[in-house]
Chain A
Amino acid sequence: MHTVTVQVVRPIGDDIQKKAAERSAVLLLGCPQVPVQTSIALYLLSMLRKKGIKGIIAGNPAARRLVEVSDPDHHYVGEVIDIDRCVADLAEKKRDFSLCFAFIHNDAGVSYAATIGSLSGGSLVALIYGEHPEDVAETLTVPCEKIVVKATHNPMPLKNKIDEVLPWVVSNL
Chain B
Amino acid sequence: MIASIRSVLQKIGHRVIDSVWRMGFAGRFFLLTLMHSGTCFRRFHLILREVFSAGVLSLIIILVSGLFVGMVLGLQGFETLQTYGSEEALGILVAKSLVMELGPVVAALLFASRAGSAITAEIGLMKATEQIAAMEMMAVDPIARVVAPRFWGAVISMPLLAALFSAMGIFGGYLVGVVLIGVDNGSFWSQMQAAVSFDRDILNGVIKSVVFGVAVTTIALFEGFDAPPTAEGVSRATTRTVVTSSLAILGLDFILTAFMFRGV
Do A and B make up one complex?
A: no
Task: Name A's B-contacting residues (CB within 8 A).
Answer: none
